[in-house]
Amino acid sequence: MPVAKVYTPKEHNIRSSQIDKDALWAIKRIQASGAEAYIVGGAIRDIMLGRHPKDFDIATSLSPRQVQRMFWNSRIIGRRFRIVHLFFGDKIIEVTTFRSDEENFEDGRNNVYGSIEQDAKRRDYSINSLYYNPSNGQLLDFNDAMEDFRRRQIRSLIPLSYSFSEDPVRMIRALKYQATTGFSLCRDVRHAIKKNAENIETCSISRLTEEVSKIISSGYAEPIFLNLQKFGLLIYILPIISMYLEYPSFHEALAELDKKVREGIESGSPLAKDEIIYMLLKPLIVFDNPEGTASDELFREGFRQAKILISPMTPPNYELEKAVDRLLEDMGYKRNRNRKSAEARVPRKKPNNMGRKSAANEELSSGPRKSRKKKRKIKVPAEPKTLAEEHDL
């Protein structure tokens, strides 16, 4: 039987009112089928720290196919390990099956399902390994994570002998958690990051681009960049930015960026990606002789510098174009946008037909769902004209 420390609602500060309503609805539906389902990961970590989570993830004993059959607004994604996305308008709730610890990493056999205890042992860090059951308010702790919260430390659950070589992005996450939580890294984690820093080069550019996007949108870009610089990772992720990080003026620009991002998050109006990129690159882009130069030429030069500054990261070109346009507008210039520009070709956001706005609200407001099937009207002749008709009647 799984062995865990169980904390009651009186022993922790998590309440069901802090959980997303659609996540609660999905868990209730899974548990009604007799399966296990919990809120896990970063959402519980953030609530424990007194913050409002951005995403809510669910862990369950059901297989991805079983989850898909249960929810019509679902889609299975992933090859290495299959997970299910539940769509609620623009919001996505991720549902993962408990993972086994009996996987063969060298052969890539990662679609092996297991128990909740095995799943808990597979979490990257202890502060991400708590399981909350909103039905009874219990918090399950398989890894002494609550003790790590009390000690304010970040401890790796996966053996460090292969954790960072298997997935080097875990090093970025550890340093990100340190900056955002104020916790300290365990000594063995610090040594392992310094030893494996070069492994970050083996990560795909797309994954690193996604991580950088999360960092500059977090409101903690300055301390995270400083952490990455301290442990020797930033030179591989953003080599040009790592050089400018030596200048105090760039520190001030990053601090201002973080302030604006946090203000946007708190007000419910987060900054657009192009505005964040603009604030990041504004102190770094320099024009030699802007006076008398055509705005289109200034734009091309600014765009060229922007690509070099964030290389090898590859954010969408239209976001870079809008960021450079903001810079030119500050200088009093405005370029003529043509149809060939990436900004003009930005894909229009199509409505997501996979999910509804809120399944929870729909269920609570309308009660039991009524069948939409129309009753077929069968025309019956007054008197049968044949023996076949008489038989059918």
Q: What is the pLDDT of residue 186?
A: 96
Provide, for the chain, the percentages of residues in helix, strand and coil under a 3-state DSSP scheme, each rounded to the nearest 5.
45, 10, 40
Q: Residue for token digits 């870079």? A: 320
Q: Tens digits of per-residue pLDDT, 77-93?
A: 987 778 999 999 889 99
57 is annotated as an active-site residue: yes
Got the DSSP string for 178-238?
Answer: HHHH-PEEPHHHHHHHHHHGGGGGGS-HHHHHHHHHHHHTTT-HHHHHHHHHHTT-HHHH-
Q: Tens digits of per-residue pLDDT, 310-333?
A: 999 999 999 999 999 999 998 888
Which is catalytic among the residues 57, 148, 274, 325?
A: 57
Which is catalytic among the residues 20, 22, 124, 141?
A: 124
Q: What is the pLDDT of residue 333?
A: 84
276 vs 337 pLDDT, higher one: 276
Tell whether the model's pLDDT for residue 380 goes beyond 80. Answer: no
Got the DSSP string for 154-181?
Answer: E-BSS-TTTHHHH-THHHHHHHHHHHHH
Residues 125, 177 contacting (CB under 8 angstroms) = yes
The DSSP call for residue 385 is: S
- pLDDT-derived band at 288 (thresholds 50, 70, 90) equals confident
Q: What is the pLDDT of residue 250?
A: 93
Q: What is the pLDDT of residue 392?
A: 41
User: How much is the average pLDDT of 24-39?
Assistant: 96
- pLDDT-derived band at 344 (thresholds 50, 70, 90) equals low
Q: What is the pLDDT of residue 112?
A: 78
Q: What is the pLDDT of residue 387?
A: 42
Q: Which structural domains are found in the chain, ordered by start?
A: 1-151 (3.30.460.10), 152-265 (1.10.3090.10), 272-345 (no CATH)
Q: Tens digits of per-residue pLDDT, 97-131?
A: 998 876 544 444 556 788 999 999 889 999 999 99
Q: What is the pLDDT of residue 49?
A: 92
330 is annotated as an active-site residue: no
Average pLDDT of every residue of the chain: 85
Kindly state the tokens that stand for 161.
């002998």
User: How much is the average pLDDT of 384-391?
Assistant: 44
Which is catalytic among the residues 55, 101, 144, 167?
A: 55
Q: What is the pLDDT of residue 86?
A: 95
Strand locations in the chain (E)? 5-7, 37-40, 57-60, 74-77, 83-88, 91-97, 130-133, 138-141, 153-154, 184-185
Percentage of the chain beyond pLDDT 70 is 82
User: How much is the average pLDDT of 193-197?
Assistant: 94
Strand order in the sheet with 37-40: 5-7, 138-141, 130-133, 37-40, 57-60, 91-97, 83-88, 74-77
Closest CA to 310 of 259, 249, 243: 243
The region of weakest confidence among 64-78, 102-116, 201-215, 255-269 is 102-116
Q: Tens digits of per-residue pLDDT, 39-67?
A: 999 999 999 999 888 889 999 999 999 99
- pLDDT-derived band at 215 (thresholds 50, 70, 90) equals very high
Closest CA to 341 of 361, 320, 356: 320
308 vs 370 pLDDT, higher one: 308
- pLDDT-derived band at 390 (thresholds 50, 70, 90) equals very low
The DSSP call for residue 16 is: G
